[in-house]
Structure 1
Amino acid sequence: MKSSNDGVSSGLLKGAAVLSVAAIITKLLGTLQKIPLQNIGGDGVFGIYNTVYPFYTILITLATAGFPTVVSKFVAERHVLGGEAEKREVLRVATGVMALLGIAGSMTMYFGAPFISRLIGSSHLVLALRSAAPALLFIPLSASLRGYFQGLQDMMPTAVSQVIEQAVRVTVMIVLLLYLSGIDAPESLVAGGALAGSAAGGAAGLIVVLLYWRKYNKKTSKREYRAVANQTGNHTKGLSLLREMLYYAIPVCLAALAVPLISLVDTFTLPRLLTESSDELGTMIEVGVYNRGIPLVQLVTMLASSLSVLFIPVLAEMNLRGDREGIRKQSGLALKWFWLIGLASSTGLAILAEPINIMLYEDGTGTNTMIWIAWTAAPSALVAVTAALLQGLGVVRAPALNLLAAAAIKTALNVLLVPQLGITGAAIAGIAAYTAAAALNLALLLRQVQLRPRLVDAVLRPLAAVLAMSAAVLLLRLGADAVLPHGRLLAALESLLGVLLGAAVFAAAVLRTRLLSAAELAALPRIGPKLLKALRRMHLLR
């Protein structure tokens, strides 16, 4: 007979799996939608969109202010005690605050659009800023309801509403792009249409979560409704609850702000620094070209972030048990995995930058910049895994502070390098910023777990695997260029075959040099045993 604890653990695992899958789908849609955005709208529209979007993301983060996590925590605590009125009071206070923050953010973005565009340094941004503003009226309300359901350990409303929100956002964006481009609308209006998708997606996500709320309400008994009604109006208790919630929400918000801050640095520095050498629209085109390589790096970071989550509960459990040796082994394994994934991704993207650029964006403009941007994949993967490992050990603030330091480095280097090197200077600044954040996180983690990686395992053997992969992919490129006709089809073939060949050669080199042993593969949380079984079936590992 199973215990109730087993049932709770099983429910939590299923809920975590549902949220992980939803997060991967939404991030994948959000990243890949940038390709049709550039293809349909062109680099000017792409530049305007990517200049406005980080600013919009910061306002969304401020508007939600860590409240979904806090709502989830407070509702979960009250759910254990069975108090429906207390749970509803948490939701009422959180929704009120988030609605006010959302309205303030929306009005700032809409009415302040001319001032913000002047601050950034381009008048082409006004329509795009105003088109994204209505999203701030919907998304904070969705976030508070999602937090409520998560507190009840019901992850489906969050997962379904997130996927629907992103799907509607991308669909509306593409429809408006096609229509506005078809009537030869100016770039600023086309970019505004693309960002209007955010408002449509936000509204759709809110409708979905409200439908779940309606269904939940029908299950609530009349006695519970009376208790809720009696609870409402206790302003003193509401203010006390608000203070308590803000105490937890503000640190979460500050940590969340650190992530999009490096992108925001480019929003406020690139247009002004580039305008010195071209007009406003020309500047937006350059920003668009600069952003061509970023979705590829984001895919690697998304993969790293999704996989790194697997290590958090394992490390948290080991930390509670005081299993220092287990923590050391798991941390070492995670670092090795993500260093190899990041290194292979950076090298592969750099070598295949030209065919990938032509395959995705029709021409090779900005290939040199894309090569530099490719080298942010490795430190970005390390930032993701080290932050997750530190979180599992209970160290939450340091990774956020390290990202803030990285943003300061990015700002200083943009100012120094962009006037001299243009968008390539911004790409080099990005490498330095992410490398600094990765190094700071890594140094702290190694001290925490008392781990000392060997030079042979950390550098020499990975370098040998990368050289083998590079040689194979370069030979493929030389052969394809000599035999096949040039064009987008060749670029697509070269890119896809290059990725497959590079991954196969790199994996074979890693296994042959025993960079990862069978025991280390098996120790990978949840997916390790299945991966080991598959490799043995293919006779790649004994």
Structure 2
Amino acid sequence: MKNEFTEPRPSKLLKGAAVLALAAVVTKLLGTLQKIPLQNIGGDGVFGIYNTVYPFYMMIVTFATAGFPAAVSKFIAERQVLGEEAGKRSVLRMASLIMGLLGVAGFAMLYFGAPLLSRAIGSSQLLPALRNAAPALLFIPLTAALRGYFQGLQEMVPTAVSQVTEQTVRVTVMIVLLLYWTGVGAADDVIAGGAFAGSAAGGMAGLLVMLVFWRRSSGQRESTAPSRKLGAASQIDIPDRAKGAGEERGTKLLAAMLAYAIPVCLAALAVPLLSLVDTFTLPRLLQSRGADELQAMVEVGIYNRGVPLVQLVTMLASSLSVMFIPALTELRMKNDPVGIQRQTTLALRWFWLIGLAASTGLALLAQPINVMLYEDDLGSATLAWIAWTAAPGALVTVSAALLQGLGHVRAPALHLLAAAALKTALNALLVPPLGITGAALAGIAAYGAAAALNLALLARRTGRARRGASAALAQLLRPAAAVLAMAGAVLLVRLGAGALPLGGGRMAALAESLLGVAVGAAVFAAAVLRTGLLSAAELAALPRVSPRLVAALRRLRLVR
């Protein structure tokens, strides 16, 4: 009879990784793109309130869910090997208790502490959004515990289905409530609060999906438990140390789980920290320029127009960077410094080119993209500056992944903490005279600093530090010709669009934006290949890149 022990472990892991990767892409796309109808329906005031509260909400969610699912997965996997059903139940009970308590604490802090938080941020407009975001915390931590349980069993489908369901319900409910509250003429703070109610609905849906999978798996375990336990015991030679791990209970189990979960949690908290800096500084700093509370929220909304576009680039970089981690880990285990240096050089060059192309294109097409997505061109100059965070942001993402592959897990988080401190100082310095453009400039500097710190550590660990700063600078400046070619092509498209009788409005901006992106990307890619920034050998070395791509580029004489 076929059971979970008959399928080869690598095959199961690869299938699970593919399922989770696909789910992550879908959920991130939904989460990022939902901000466009949010602004279109609610306006910049609602958009500003939402984006001021969202980083704080995500910080609490991350704190409650980042570390424990990984810990649950690890401890469940150990007990699965031992065939200990009682041990797995103990882990899940402990995790559910802790996650439930964290969820209740987060709910209480966000709901009952909403007046205090809104005063600390500097805007009473945030009160309904803070309170409506709070109920989601009653569901999301428990969902995370169950996801960790199934991941420990190498069953990734429940997590993937739950993630997609949660995000789909959240976005759907948010849009429905946005349409309702704007239809009845509600105030901006009420509309933003309604948008956050979608988070609670999505959290509840995600938990219900996990409970359905849990109930189904419970029934299967009851019918097959004796034979599975016998099979596990007969096939696996269990070391004494593993047996001791399986017997942990109560406070010992709690201490072991906390010891594993807390470092992971602290590392994850660094990621939303840069956005949280703007939450606590921008409203007050904008009010110091003479804006009232609502006007400050409108300006925050305009500032955040460019953020979803940069997040798409970061999401792409994050998804692609995963390909390099296992390859780098394998090279490290084989003690192959030449291979490590080759792989890191290729990855950094690849992501620097992606980020640079994205930043250049977004900056040059800021005005038509702004009109296409948000109906008007308010804040186009600020959007153009925010676009330049995509290039250092891509480097931060890939360098962090490479450092993780080399065994340095905490360093990227510490570097982001330093970048957050720099962002805070620069916001205070630049926002009073420059407004939201000052915040965008502070973001470029902060991401640039984090990227520089990661790259410096990576150079030391891969033996590239001896090549010196001049060589590193030369590597960064090498794509200048490709960037100039791309800029020229995009500017020609914009001049041509201005000369054609396309009229105004969003459709004309849509045509100009899409044509500019297509032409700019094609010219940049051709220039990169013709100037030898990426060779055929390097393209062939990229994980999962088909040889057919290299063959097609050779036929076009773009690579040698």
Q: Are the structure 2 counterparts of residues 238 and 511 from structure 1 closer, same or farther at C-alpha, using a change threshold of 3 Å?
A: same
1: distance between equivalents of 2:135 and 2:313?
A: 31
Show the counterpart of 1:9: 10
1:147-166 CA-to-partner distances (Å, cap 9, x unmatched) read 01111111101111001100
Show the counterpart of 1:272: 284
Show the counterpart of 2:316: 303
Q: CA deviation at 1:96?
A: 0.4
2: distance between equivalents of 1:8 and 1:223?
A: 20
Report if the CA contact (8 A) 1:64-1:101 is conserved: no
Show the counterpart of 2:182: 181
Show the counterpart of 2:475: 458
Show the counterpart of 1:237: 249
Q: Does residue 1:525 correspond to 2:543, yes or no? A: yes
Report if the CA contact (8 A) 1:523-1:529 is conserved: no
Show the counterpart of 2:242: none
SS in 1 for 2:139: helix
Show the counterpart of 1:496: 514
Q: CA deviation at 1:247?
A: 0.6
Q: Does residue 1:438 correspond to 2:438, yes or no? A: no
Report if the CA contact (8 A) 1:461-1:513 is conserved: no
Show the counterpart of 1:90: 91
2: distance between equivalents of 1:33 and 1:161?
A: 18
Q: Map 1:344-493 onto structure 2 (within 5 A).
A: 344-451=357-464, 452=467, 454=471, 458-484=475-501, 485-493=503-511
1: distance between equivalents of 2:396 and 2:472?
A: 20
Show the counterpart of 2:334: 321
Q: Map 1:185-334 onto structure 2 (within 5 A).
A: 185-221=186-222, 237-276=249-288, 277-334=290-347
Show the counterpart of 2:239: none
Q: CA deviation at 1:526?
A: 1.6
Q: Are the structure 2 counterparts of residues 528 and 429 from structure 1 closer, same or farther at C-alpha, using a change threshold of 3 Å?
A: farther
Q: CA deviation at 1:13?
A: 1.1
Report if the CA contact (8 A) 2:482-2:527 is conserved: yes
Q: Does residue 1:152 correspond to 2:153, yes or no? A: yes
Counterpart amino acid of 1:332? T
Q: CA deviation at 1:318?
A: 1.1
Report if the CA contact (8 A) 1:372-1:427 is conserved: yes
Show the counterpart of 2:23: 22
1: distance between equivalents of 2:422 and 2:6?
A: 47
Q: Are the structure 2 counterparts of residues 336 and 44 from structure 1 closer, same or farther at C-alpha, using a change threshold of 3 Å?
A: same
Q: CA deviation at 1:319?
A: 0.9
Counterpart amino acid of 2:425? A
1:456-494 CA-to-partner distances (Å, cap 9, x unmatched) read 862343010000000000011011011132221111100
Q: CA deviation at 1:329?
A: 0.7
Show the counterpart of 1:118: 119
Counterpart amino acid of 1:149? F
Q: Are the structure 2 counterparts of residues 107 and 192 from structure 1 closer, same or farther at C-alpha, using a change threshold of 3 Å?
A: same
Q: CA deviation at 1:537?
A: 6.2
SS in 2 for 1:479: helix
Report if the CA contact (8 A) 1:521-1:528 is conserved: no
1: distance between equivalents of 2:535 and 2:6?
A: 34
Show the counterpart of 1:38: 39
SS in 1 for 2:408: coil
2: distance between equivalents of 1:157 and 1:254?
A: 26
Report if the CA contact (8 A) 1:85-1:224 is conserved: no
The TM-score normalised by the length of structure 1 is 0.95
Report if the CA contact (8 A) 2:287-2:293 is conserved: yes
Q: CA deviation at 1:24?
A: 0.7
Identical aligned residues as a percent: 69
Report if the CA contact (8 A) 1:342-1:381 is conserved: yes
Q: Does residue 1:339 correspond to 2:379, yes or no? A: no
Q: CA deviation at 1:529?
A: 3.4
1:346-380 CA-to-partner distances (Å, cap 9, x unmatched) read 01000000000000000000011111100000000
Counterpart amino acid of 2:383? M
1:57-95 CA-to-partner distances (Å, cap 9, x unmatched) read 011112225000111111111111111111111111111
Show the counterpart of 1:231: none
Q: Are the structure 2 counterparts of residues 5 and 518 from structure 1 closer, same or farther at C-alpha, using a change threshold of 3 Å?
A: farther
1:146-190 CA-to-partner distances (Å, cap 9, x unmatched) read 001111111101111001100111110011101111111100010
Q: Are the structure 2 counterparts of residues 236 and 449 from structure 1 closer, same or farther at C-alpha, using a change threshold of 3 Å?
A: closer
Q: CA deviation at 1:535?
A: 3.4
Show the counterpart of 1:68: 69
Counterpart amino acid of 1:269? T
5+ residue gaps, structure 2: 230-246
Report if the CA contact (8 A) 2:68-2:145 is conserved: yes
1: distance between equivalents of 2:109 and 2:101?
A: 12
Q: CA deviation at 1:326?
A: 1.0
2: distance between equivalents of 1:23 and 1:236?
A: 33
Q: CA deviation at 1:532?
A: 2.5
Q: CA deviation at 1:538?
A: 5.6
SS in 2 for 1:220: helix
Query: How many correspondences in the alignment?
Result: 533
Q: Are the structure 2 counterparts of residues 256 and 456 from structure 1 closer, same or farther at C-alpha, using a change threshold of 3 Å?
A: closer
1:384-438 CA-to-partner distances (Å, cap 9, x unmatched) read 0000000011100000000000000000000111111100010000000000000
Q: Are the structure 2 counterparts of residues 537 and 132 from structure 1 closer, same or farther at C-alpha, using a change threshold of 3 Å?
A: farther
Report if the CA contact (8 A) 1:457-1:515 is conserved: no
Report if the CA contact (8 A) 2:61-2:137 is conserved: yes
Show the counterpart of 1:232: none
Report if the CA contact (8 A) 1:18-1:155 is conserved: yes
Counterpart amino acid of 1:524? L
Report if the CA contact (8 A) 1:350-1:374 is conserved: yes
Counterpart amino acid of 1:275? Q
SS in 1 for 2:8: helix
The TM-score normalised by the length of structure 2 is 0.92
Q: Are the structure 2 counterparts of residues 65 and 461 from structure 1 closer, same or farther at C-alpha, using a change threshold of 3 Å?
A: closer
Report if the CA contact (8 A) 2:532-2:559 is conserved: no
Segment drifting more, 39-48 vs 531-540: 531-540
2: distance between equivalents of 1:182 and 1:76?
A: 51
Counterpart amino acid of 2:114? A
SS in 2 for 1:134: helix
Q: Are the structure 2 counterparts of residues 501 and 217 from structure 1 closer, same or farther at C-alpha, using a change threshold of 3 Å?
A: same
2: distance between equivalents of 1:28 and 1:455?
A: 34
Select 1:510's aligned residue among 501, 507, 528. 528
Q: CA deviation at 1:302?
A: 0.4
SS in 1 for 2:543: coil
